[in-house]
Chains A and B, each alone.
Chain A
Amino acid sequence: EAGVAQSPRYKIIEKRQSVAFWCNPISGHATLYWYQQILGQGPKLLIQFQNNGVVDDSQLPKDRFSAERLKGVDSTLKIQPAKLEDSAVYLCASSLVSGGYEQYFGPGTRLTVT
């Protein structure tokens, strides 16, 4: 079975610019997660979707970050405007449903803000 797909793999932008990341979860997985991993740290959850509804976005900086999963499949994460501290790897994961089910991660998008 195909894994979680993400694009682009790398992105370099200047501060105050906008950027968007795309994620396609494993087929049939209802739950989708976006994580931010700053260098030297563990991933931190930004937002969790159950189908096309938001379950948890308590750690999403909503003044600059937004995410959507309109049809309950693909998802996009946007940053507008970017700051230097947004430089990180953005990981997308999916699971069959939420709860005790295993999460499967994509390769991530490495963002560098200069």
Chain B
Amino acid sequence: KQEVTQIPAALSVPEGENLVLNCSFTDSAIYNLQWFRQDPGKGLTSLLLIQSSQREQTSGRLNASLDKSSGRSTLYIAASQPGDSATYLCAVKTGANNLFFGTGTRLTVIP
């Protein structure tokens, strides 16, 4: 069964710092990997989706990489801002069905 782990569970950084969030998964047979943002009491907002054939995706200050063979993905956030404070979830899609989620990294960016 697919298991997804995110490290660290929580992270506090000063504004302006670059940071990396980590995600690992046990079964490399994935369709894609998706990074989400979740604000308190809200649903999930998709940030980046990387297909299994891709190595990375970029959107603004965000860059996500995927190393399928080693079962790892990283989300890089450049020049962090207080508005980036949220929980970041990664999820992998296996087969044609559901997403397997990690437990998330709670990010706090201190002004």
Given the interface contacts A41-B103, A100-B31, A102-B34, does A55 sit within 8 Å of B97 by beta carbon? Answer: yes
Q: In the complex, what distance in Å separates the CA atom of A55 from the CA atom of B98?
A: 10
B76-93 residues with Cβ-Cβ distance < 8 A to A are 89, 91, 93
Are the CB atoms of A103 and B41 closer together than 8 Å? Answer: no
Are the CB atoms of A42 and B46 closer together than 8 Å? Answer: no
Q: In the complex, what distance in Å separates the CA atom of A103 from the CA atom of B100?
A: 12
Given the interface contacts A42-B91, A42-B104, does A91 sit within 8 Å of B97 by beta carbon? Answer: no
Q: Which A residues lie within 8 Å of B63 (CB)?
A: none
Is the C-beta of A98 less than 8 angstroms from some C-beta in chain B? yes
B-side interface mostly: strand
0/1 string, A22-46, CB within 8 A of B gives 1:
0000000000010000001111110
Given the interface contacts A42-B4, A42-B91, A42-B104, does A103 sit within 8 Å of B43 by beta carbon? Answer: no
Given the interface contacts A41-B103, A98-B97, does A104 sit within 8 Å of B42 by beta carbon? Answer: no
Are the CB atoms of A105 and B44 closer together than 8 Å? Answer: yes
Q: In the complex, what distance in Å separates the CA atom of A67 from the CA atom of B96?
A: 20
Look across to chain B and name the residue whose beta carbon is closest to the beta carbon of A103. B99
Q: Which A residues lie within 8 Å of B34 (CB)?
A: 102-103
Are the CB atoms of B44 and A99 closer together than 8 Å? Answer: no
Are the CB atoms of B41 and A99 closer together than 8 Å? Answer: no
Stretch among A13-21, A74-82, A106-114 lining the B interface: A106-114
Q: In the complex, what distance in Å separates the CA atom of A42 from the CA atom of B44?
A: 11
| Nearest Cβ on chain A to B28's Cβ, whole angstroms | 15
Residue ranges of A at the interface with B (Cβ–Cβ < 8 Å): 4, 6, 33, 40-45, 48, 55-56, 91, 93, 98-100, 102-108, 110
Residue ranges of B at the interface with A (Cβ–Cβ < 8 Å): 4, 31-32, 34, 36, 41-46, 49, 51-52, 89, 91, 93, 96-99, 101-104
